[in-house]
């Protein structure tokens, strides 16, 4: 009798294991991935997964390291994506909302009573805990170095990954996420070209030009997937379309309605948002040149948002187009400089950007734009002249308290490198540039330890190419 019971249990176990082994390719269009969600906290994360458009009973079970009891979370909320060019599919969302800050937790996704996915997650850090984040931009280009850097990001064991825009090339399509993104950053296991990061650590993405600048849904009905796939706060200024920060959506009513149904409330509001993580306040902005950053609604929002982050030790701002760039490529697209006075008034410490496919950091600086700051919104960005004051004494080693904001370009995340010839040609750098590395792809690793930030820039081969410290 005992033998038969054991055999039965073994049989069930093997069936479940097989279901898990075979599950991810068949069952998921995008494997489950963690997100900070609409209302981030140190106790919560959201889990998102994409599957075919078919009814099933889904739930997620979660437990902490030391407990054997699973807590069940029903998965009934999904959005349906039914746009021209891809088979209709569903995006399921559940929320973990009782996490122990900074702890490892375990979860499994269950479909029709079968475990189809298991992973461990890292709960967000509280404001008292140290943490590590990776920052990287211009990534989903399906290049060998994009893949190597995905592995480097995984090896760095971050608590959060900051994506500084241009998530997938060339036009932010659903199909492009499938071929250039999910498979690289959320593969079933670590390989030399992919890593299972997103199931354990939330990525938080700013929108780049390749993600959301295309608004013509007749030409590209699968565009603007950013608004469908990312589960991030909606606390920035709301639309409407045609406002100073939301361009008009183009296309037939059918295509527009299909997109809006798939995007839900994320469109158009998720272009700009803020949240707290650890001891820092994070402000994410849409830096595409269609935005008029002289608009008072926007600048008031930034001012109020930064002023409201009183308890934060650090203030990071993340967006795509760098305001301070020495690269010849994209040199004319400096529109975000116009916000420097607002960032300075709001005590911002570091601005993290991409767009320019190399790594650059400035000396700490303050900047005063010439009046009028910027009154036009040309399609490819604009020059903003003005005066900068540099803190040339800061060296990130022995002098670590900056006078001013440090602006970082970390756009060497995979897409073809820009201006490798400038790395050794210091005369070609603007005077605000302290470091310029354009011969290798790289990502940024930052350890936040109370009032100290330790930055390291890591190349695709794992070598450190820059390091500096910032203290308060
Ligand atoms: Fe870009």
pLDDT, tens digit (0-9, with 9 covering 90-100), for 348-373:
999 999 999 999 999 999 999 987 65
268 pLDDT exceeds 50? Answer: yes
Ligand 1: distance of its center to the CA of 259 in Å? Answer: 23
Contact 96, 121 (CB under 8 A): yes
Q: How confident is the model at residue 406 (pLDDT cuts 50, 70, 90)?
A: very high
Q: Which of 121, 153, 171 is the last residue of a domain?
A: 121
Residue 423's φ and ψ, nearest 5 degrees, are -55, -45
Ligand 1: distance of its center to the CA of 208 in Å? Answer: 5
Q: pLDDT averaged over the chain?
A: 93
Contact 382, 321 (CB under 8 A): no
Ligand 1: distance of its center to the CA of 343 in Å? Answer: 22
Same domain, 107 and 134: no
Give the torsion through C-alpha atoms of 107, 11, 187, 49, to 10 deg.
-50
Ligand 1: distance of its center to the CA of 293 in Å? Answer: 18
Same domain, 343 and 442: yes
Same domain, 260 and 389: yes
Q: Which of 121, 136, 170 is the last residue of a domain?
A: 121
298 pLDDT exceeds 60? Answer: yes
Ligand 1: distance of its center to the CA of 325 in Å? Answer: 13
Ligand 1: distance of its center to the CA of 355 in Å? Answer: 4
Residue 230's φ and ψ, nearest 5 degrees, are -100, 135
Ligand 1: distance of its center to the CA of 157 in Å? Answer: 26
Ligand 1: distance of its center to the CA of 67 in Å? Answer: 45
Give the whole-number percent of the chain exceeding pLDDT 70.
Answer: 93
The answer to whether the peptide bond before residue 170 is cis (omega within 30 degrees of 0) is yes
Residue 4's pLDDT is 55
Same domain, 43 and 180: no
Q: For the domain that residue 327 is a member of, what is the CATH number? A: 3.60.21.10
Same domain, 12 and 153: no
- pLDDT (tens digit, 9 = 90+) per residue, 150-207? 999 999 999 999 999 999 999 999 999 999 999 999 999 999 999 999 999 999 999 9
449 pLDDT exceeds 80? Answer: yes
Same domain, 85 and 159: no
Ligand 1: distance of its center to the CA of 404 in Å? Answer: 26
CA proximity to 272, closest of 234, 322, 225 = 234
**Residue in the block written with tokens 């990525």:** 203
Ligand 1: distance of its center to the CA of 210 in Å? Answer: 6
What are the b/e assignments for 332-362, b being 16+ CB within 10 Å? ebbbbbbbbbbbbebebbbbbbbbbbbbbbb
Ligand 1: distance of its center to the CA of 222 in Å? Answer: 19
CA proximity to 325, closest of 242, 403, 453, 436 = 436
Ligand 1: distance of its center to the CA of 323 in Å? Answer: 13
Helix, strand, or coil here: 63? strand
126-144: average pLDDT? 98
* Residues 268, 465: Cα–Cα separation, whole Å: 38
Helices (H), 240-348: 253-263, 296-308, 340-345
Residue 99's φ and ψ, nearest 5 degrees, are -75, 150
Ligand 1: distance of its center to the CA of 176 in Å? Answer: 16
76 pLDDT exceeds 70? Answer: yes
Ligand 1: distance of its center to the CA of 232 in Å? Answer: 21
Same domain, 131 and 279: yes
Q: For the domain that residue 11 is a member of, what is the CATH number? A: 2.60.40.380
CA distances, 411 to each of 163, 167, 360, 423 (Å):
9, 11, 9, 15
Contact 364, 399 (CB under 8 A): no
Distance of CA 156 to the CA centre of its chain: 16
Ligand 1: distance of its center to the CA of 71 in Å? Answer: 42
Ligand 1: distance of its center to the CA of 375 in Å? Answer: 22
Same domain, 344 and 361: yes
- How far does the chain reach from its first CA to its final CA, in angstroms? 69
Work out how many domains the chain is built from and give that number.
2
6 pLDDT exceeds 70? Answer: no
Ligand 1: distance of its center to the CA of 322 in Å? Answer: 10
Ligand 1: distance of its center to the CA of 362 in Å? Answer: 19
Same domain, 47 and 175: no
Two tokens at 414?
A: 């995979």
Give the count of beta carbons closer than 10 Å to the beta carbon of residue 372.
9
Same domain, 7 and 147: no
Residue 456's pLDDT is 98
Ligand 1: distance of its center to the CA of 417 in Å? Answer: 12
266-295: average pLDDT? 96
7 pLDDT exceeds 60? Answer: no
* Residues 213, 201: Cα–Cα separation, whole Å: 27
Residue 14's pLDDT is 46
Q: Which of 121, 154, 174 is the last residue of a domain?
A: 121
Ligand 1: distance of its center to the CA of 209 in Å? Answer: 5
Boundaries of domain holding 392: 125-471
Two tokens at 447?
A: 């350890």
* Residues 47, 396: Cα–Cα separation, whole Å: 38
More confident residue, 257 or 383: 257
205-212: average pLDDT? 98
Same domain, 22 and 52: yes
Same domain, 362 and 290: yes
Ligand 1: distance of its center to the CA of 418 in Å? Answer: 12
* 48, containing H or E segment: strand 45-52
* 176, containing H or E segment: helix 174-180
């Amino acid at each position: 009798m005992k033998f038969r019971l054991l055999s039965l249990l073994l049989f069930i176990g093997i069936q479940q294991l097989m279901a898990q082994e075979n599950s991810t390719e068949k069952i998921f269009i995008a494997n489950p991935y963690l997100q900070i969600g609409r209302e981030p906290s140190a106790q919560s994360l959201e889990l998102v997964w994409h599957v075919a458009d078919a009814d099933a009973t889904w739930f997620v079970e979660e437990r902490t390291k030391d407990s054997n009891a699973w807590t069940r979370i029903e998965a009934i909320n999904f959005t349906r994506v039914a746009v021209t060019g891809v088979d209709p599919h569903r995006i399921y969302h559940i929320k973990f909302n009782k996490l122990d800050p900074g702890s490892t937790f375990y979860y499994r996704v269950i479909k029709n009573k079968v475990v189809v996915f298991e992973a461990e997650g890292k709960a967000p850090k509280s404001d008292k805990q140290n943490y590590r984040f990776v920052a990287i931009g211009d990534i989903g280009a399906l290049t060998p170095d994009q893949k190597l850097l995905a592995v480097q990001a995984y090896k760095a064991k971050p608590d959060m990954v900051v994506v500084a825009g241009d998530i997938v090339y060339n036009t932010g399509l659903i199909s492009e996420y499938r071929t250039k993104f999910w498979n690289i950053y959320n593969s079933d296991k670590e390989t030399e070209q992919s890593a299972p990061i997103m199931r354990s650590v939330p990525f938080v993405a700013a929108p780049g030009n390749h993600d959301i600048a295309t608004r013509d849904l007749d030409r590209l009905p699968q565009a603007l997937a950013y608004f469908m796939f990312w589960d991030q706060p909606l606390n920035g200024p709301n639309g409407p379309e045609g406002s100073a920060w939301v361009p008009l959506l183009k296309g037939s009513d059918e295509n527009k309605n299909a997109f809006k149904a798939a995007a839900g409330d994320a469109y158009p509001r998720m272009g700009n948002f803020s949240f707290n993580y650890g001891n820092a306040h994070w402000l994410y902005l849409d830096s595409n040149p269609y935005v008029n950053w002289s608009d008072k609604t926007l600048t008031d929002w930034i001012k109020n948002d930064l002023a409201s982050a009183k308890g934060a030790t650090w203030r990071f701002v993340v967006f795509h187009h760098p305001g301070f760039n020495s690269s010849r490529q994209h040199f004319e697209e400096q529109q975000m400089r116009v916000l420097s006075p607002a960032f300075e008034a709001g005590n911002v410490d570091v601005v993290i950007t991409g767009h320019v496919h190399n790594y650059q950091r400035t000396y700490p600086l303050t900047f005063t734009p010439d009046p009028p700051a910027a009154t036009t919104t040309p399609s490819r960005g604009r020059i903003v002249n003005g005066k900068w004051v540099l803190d040339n004494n800061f060296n990130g080693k022995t002098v670590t308290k900056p006078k001013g904001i440090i602006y970082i370009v970390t756009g060497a995340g995979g897409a073809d490198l820009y201006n490798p010839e400038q790395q050794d040609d210091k005369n070609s750098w603007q005077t605000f540039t302290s470091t310029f590395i354009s011969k290798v792809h790289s990502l940024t690793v930052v350890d936040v330890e109370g009032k100290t930030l330790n930055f390291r820039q890591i190349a695709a081969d794992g070598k450190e190419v820059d390091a500096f410290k910032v203290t308060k």
